[in-house]
Amino acid sequence: MREATHEPLPVGGGADLDQSDHGDHLDGLGGIGAGEFGAGEFGDGGFGDARTQQDLLSRTALGVFRLNGQFLAISEELAKPAGLTAAWWQVLGAVLREPLPVAGIARSMGITRQSVQRIADLLVAKGLAEYAPNPAHRRAKLLRPTEEGRSAVDRIGPGHAALAARLTAELGDAALAETVRTLERLATALDALESAAPAATVPGPAPE
């Protein structure tokens, strides 16, 4: 398998991939806007205050939803010249480094298995991916990109590199790296909460 370290990975979820039930929880996020607090204004009780904690959770969730929409629009524009959609790019990107079963792709991206299966079948039909035998599970075949699929992703490279350079110039190297680390820590923390007590991860209404 050829080196994939620098291949452009998708920057957002595809419009036809069912990533989660975000909309079902919006009413419980308290309607907190990005400008709710000024610098250093986190309520009378500081970070230990329950209302402040809920406000910060709401702002984090709404901010991530907004980012997903922004990255989705960017991904569609980047993928279009390569003859891909953002969703096709996302699924192909998941198997660039190693083949995976559909269920594994779905878990890694936090989307439904049915959505991945639909896109995987389309990619195979268009010659961009193929199914391979899975030594670990006879029925759960592995999805892997074809050379045509890899070439399509490669064509996204210049636009992807240009976006990375512009974003780095806007934020700065250190700030961008810290943003990535923070998002990774957030995802890991939510995984831990879900494993410990799934029901506790669903945001409830903000206090009146």
Work out how many domains the chain is built from and give that number.
1
CATH code for the domain in which residue 88 is found: 1.10.10.10
Q: Does position 140 have pLDDT exceeding 60, yes or no?
A: yes
How far is residue 18's CA from residue 171's CA, in Å, rounded to a whole number? 30
pLDDT digit string, tens, across residues 143-169: 999 999 999 999 999 999 999 999 999
**What is the model's pLDDT at position 16?**
59
Mean local confidence (pLDDT), 166-192: 96
Residues 45-63 have pLDDT tens digits of: 556 789 999 999 999 999 9
Q: Is residue 185 part of a domain?
A: yes
Longest dimension (CA), the chain: 60
Q: How does DSSP classify residue 181?
A: H
Q: What is the pTM of this model?
A: 0.70
Asked if the structure places residue 53 within a domain, the reply is: yes
Query: Per-residue pLDDT tens for 3-25?
Result: 444 567 666 555 556 554 444 44
Q: Which residues pair with 130 in a beta bridge?
A: 144
In a domain, 17, yes or no: no
Residue 193 in any domain: the answer is yes
Confidence at residue 34, expressed as pLDDT on a 0 to 100 scale: 43
| Long-range contacts, 77-80 (Cβ 8 Å, 24+) | 77/159, 78/8, 78/11, 78/156, 78/159, 78/160, 78/163, 79/10, 79/156
Domain extent, residue 89, equals 22-199
Q: What is the arithmetic mean of pLDDT over 61-77?
A: 96
Residue 204 confidence (pLDDT) = 56
> In this structure, is residue 6 part of a structural domain?
no
